């Protein structure tokens, strides 16, 4: 028997069916969301392991206002943000500056120093003072005393082996001598095309100053052997000048046999200095200046491809006490393809991070973080 339905009855039934359908969809979605959240939390716990207990920056150093303005900050260190950039780096440089301003410097308004080998345009995304400087030509180009035939042969060989040649002599030994940097005690080296994935809700300069730290990093990795085949031979400098070596140094990070060789050859570990917060006194000191002059006399910046990362790393590990070197777990940082994301759900949430902890490079096979951990 067919049931005749009035127009109003059919309308009521249609509404009921729609409500039931929406309820089913929402229930299904909620279950999926709950399941996905649970899986993601489990994966996060597996990635972070027990490192959530690692909270190297005390709570007193964090800003507690929801949105602190630069005028809420009553203390600033004698520090600067530093970038060496060429005109061809302009787009990537602007992105790096904008991210670090948004994530950190909008609060503190530390000045920026930009160095280039030629004139370039002003940046309009910086909240604090800006200084532009030219790199002296003699610090930028190959020295006259280098054997150009030997250097060219080395460069050609690197091209054959698909090794990008970049001369890092300026960043290794001359940047801290630039007149614009003489007024500062601290510098934060920033490179074009890097990313900052978390709000930095404390002042790294203030923390380092208060706690006798002189060198800070976020990523540590193995150097490419083909770029520095003879660099470790220059460790003989420390044998010629044992007075410069700290008794409580981090040689155990660099070597398994008290300096006879780098550990895990053919790879070479380095604190990756495209992120580097450091006391300028480390570079200006007699130990580092003589160490760089010794390296420079060997020609490895031209005959090989000695980078500022291993050069700085060796110096920091040997001339400073190991407790003066700071791993900034709290700072989410990326230099493609490597990313550091803070370890521990508390830190990740506290810093309002946009990185994926599961992709963090810290204990990747090419990371030398385990070597760093063992000297702590």
Q: Is omega for the bond preceding 266 within 30 degrees of 0, making it cis? A: yes
Q: Is omega for the bond preceding 337 within 30 degrees of 0, making it cis? A: yes
Dihedral (CA of 96, 216, 352, 206) sign: negative
Q: Are 168 and 307 in contact (CB under 8 A)?
A: yes
Q: Is 276 a catalytic residue?
A: yes
Rounded distance between C-alpha atoms, residue 352 and residue 298, angstroms: 46
Strands across the sheet with 186-189, in order?
Answer: 130-134, 112-116, 79-84, 186-189, 276-279, 215-217, 325-327
Q: Which of 276, 304, 330, 334 is catalytic?
A: 276
Of 159, 299, 173, nearest to 228 by C-alpha is 299
Dihedral (CA of 97, 207, 334, 35) sign: negative
- The full length of the chain comes to 376
Task: Just list the catalytic residues.
Answer: 276
């Amino acid at each position: 028997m067919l049931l005749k339905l009035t127009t109003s009855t059919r309308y009521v039934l249609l509404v009921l069916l729609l409500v039931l359908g929406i309820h089913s969809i929402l229930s299904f979605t909620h279950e999926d969301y709950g399941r996905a959240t649970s899986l993601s939390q489990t994966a996060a716990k597996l990635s972070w392991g027990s490192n959530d207990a690692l909270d190297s920056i005390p709570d007193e150093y964090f800003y507690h206002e929801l949105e602190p303005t630069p005028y809420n900050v009553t203390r600033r260190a004698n520090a600067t943000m530093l970038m060496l950039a060429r005109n061809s780096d302009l787009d990537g440089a602007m992105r790096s500056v904008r991210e670090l301003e948004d994530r950190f410097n909008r609060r503190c308004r530390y000045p920026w120093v930009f160095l280039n080998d030629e004139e370039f345009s002003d940046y309009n995304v910086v909240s604090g003072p800006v200084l532009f400087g030219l790199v002296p030509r003699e610090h930028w180009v190959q020295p006259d005393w280098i054997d150009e035939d030997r250097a060219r042969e080395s460069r050609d060989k690197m091209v054959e082996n698909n090794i990008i040649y970049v001369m890092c002599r300026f960043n290794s030994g001359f940047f801290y001598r630039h007149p614009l940097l003489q007024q500062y005690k601290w510098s934060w080296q920033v490179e074009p095309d890097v990313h900052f994935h978390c709000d930095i809700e404390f002042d790294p300069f203030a923390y380092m100053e208060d706690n006798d730290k002189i060198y800070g990093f976020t990523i540590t990795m193995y150097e490419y052997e083909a770029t520095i085949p003879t660099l470790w031979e220059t460790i003989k400098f420390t044998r010629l000048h044992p007075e410069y070596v700290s008794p409580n140094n981090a040689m155990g990070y660099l070597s398994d046999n008290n300096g006879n060789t780098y550990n895990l050859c053919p790879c070479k570990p380095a604190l990756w200095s495209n992120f580097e917060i450091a006391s300028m006194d480390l570079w200006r000191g007699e130990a580092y200046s003589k160490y760089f002059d010794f390296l420079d006399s060997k020609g490895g910046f031209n005959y090989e491809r000695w980078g500022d990362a291993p050069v700085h790393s060796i110096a920091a590990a040997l001339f400073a006490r190991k407790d003066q070197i700071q791993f900034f777990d709290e700072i989410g940082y990326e230099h493609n393809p490597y990313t550091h994301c803070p370890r521990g759900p508390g830190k990740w949430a506290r810093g309002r991070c946009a990185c994926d902890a599961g992709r963090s490079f810290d204990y990747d096979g090419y990371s030398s973080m385990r070597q760093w951990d063992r000297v702590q």
